[in-house]
Structure 1
Amino acid sequence: MSSANFRLIRNPFGRLVFTGADGTTHEAVVPVRAFPIGAPDDGIALVSVEGHELLWIDRLEQLPGDVAALIRGELESREFVPEIRRIRGVSSFACPSTWDIETDRGDAKLVLKGEEDIRRLGRERLLIADTHGIQYLVRDLTALDRGSRKILDRFL
């Protein structure tokens, strides 16, 4: 895919505007990741407000820098998946329990209602859902400190 095949800009209202190779313009397009956790920069669709796929992007790095930056910015503004860096403590090893955590977005408390809300995404990756529907990511279990891993082991 070359940048000559389409054009992507942000309009004065902050919405993405896509112009295809045929000259057709679509306002308020939305980028959607196919694999948001496992391969966030691979497989991204630009979708119209009607839900039609306008463009498939195999790899974000194949795009010109300014276009990739627009798409990344839009994705980051819509996606909220804090990454757990450290688990300071839990109120109880029985569920429900309140976890005191440190994330890439600041300190937080999450309430885990059951062990089934901890999903494995491969050997070293976890997705933890709290009672408010927020998804927390543990990108790499081995990168966590020993205390955090010990707490997680009690729930896995």
Structure 2
Amino acid sequence: MTTTRFELVRNPFGRLVLTTEDGQVFENVAPARAFPVQAPQEGIALVCSDGKEVGWIDKLDDLPPAIAALVREELGGREFMPEISRIVSVTSYATPCTWKVHTDRGDTEFVLRGEEDIRRIGPDTLLVSDIHGIHFLIRDAHELDKHSKKILDRFL
């Protein structure tokens, strides 16, 4: 079901409630991005707790500011994908190894299990998965500093 006009509010329990244009009410809905890396502000489904899509957002910026803020807040609480801005060091060029990195969420270390945990998801974009399944994004490998590129090239 695709809904273009709707009301979205947070109930007293902190859950999102969607009311469609035709008056249907769906409790406990959650936003889910269709393309979280390539187009994070476009193509957002609103799904019920059973996984059924009950609403669709073409562009987040086209929503009224209050509704857009609710959706952004909910996505921010559910999604965690730090963006790597610099690779400081690695313990070894053989895997598994520990990477020390700077991200948009602060400095951290993680264990890379194997080279297969670095995946290309675009011409310049990489997704790095740590041993716990946390995904780290390198939005543009060409934008990294020389030291970071040198380390990354050893694993690609």
Both structures adopt the same fold (TM-score exceeding 0.5): yes
The reply on whether 1:110 has 2:110 as its aligned counterpart is yes
Task: State the alpha-carbon separation in 2 of the partners of residues 100 and 52 from structure 1.
Answer: 40
Give 4+ residue runs of structure 1 displaced > 6 Å after superposition. none
Contact 1:91–1:99 (CA<8 Å) still a contact in 2? yes
Structure 1 residues 2 and 61, CA gap change in structure 2 (3 angstroms): farther
TM-score normalised over the length of structure 1: 0.94
CA deviation map 1:97-136 (0-9, x unaligned): 1111111111111111111100011121100001111100
Provide the alpha-carbon RMSD of the alignment.
1.5
Task: State the alpha-carbon separation in 2 of the partners of residues 129 and 2 from structure 1.
Answer: 34
Deviation at 1:50, TM superposition (A): 2.3
Contact 1:2–1:63 (CA<8 Å) still a contact in 2? no
CA deviation map 1:36-67 (0-9, x unaligned): 11111111111112222111111111111111
Give the 3-state SS of the residue equivalent to 1:110 in structure 2. Answer: strand
TM-score normalised over the length of structure 2: 0.94
Letter of the 1:28 counterpart: N
Task: State the alpha-carbon separation in 1 of the partners of residues 3 and 64 from structure 2.
Answer: 9
Equivalent residue pairs, number: 155
Task: State the alpha-carbon separation in 2 of the partners of residues 98 and 82 from structure 1.
Answer: 16
The reply on whether 1:49 has 2:43 as its aligned counterpart is no
Q: Which runs of 5+ in 2 are unaligned?
A: none
The answer for the alignment partner of 1:19 in structure 2 is 19
Contact 1:16–1:28 (CA<8 Å) still a contact in 2? yes
With 43-52 and 126-135 compared, the bigger mean Cα shift is at: 43-52
Deviation at 1:2, TM superposition (A): 9.4
The reply on whether 1:154 has 2:130 as its aligned counterpart is no
Give the 3-state SS of the residue equivalent to 1:98 in structure 2. Answer: strand
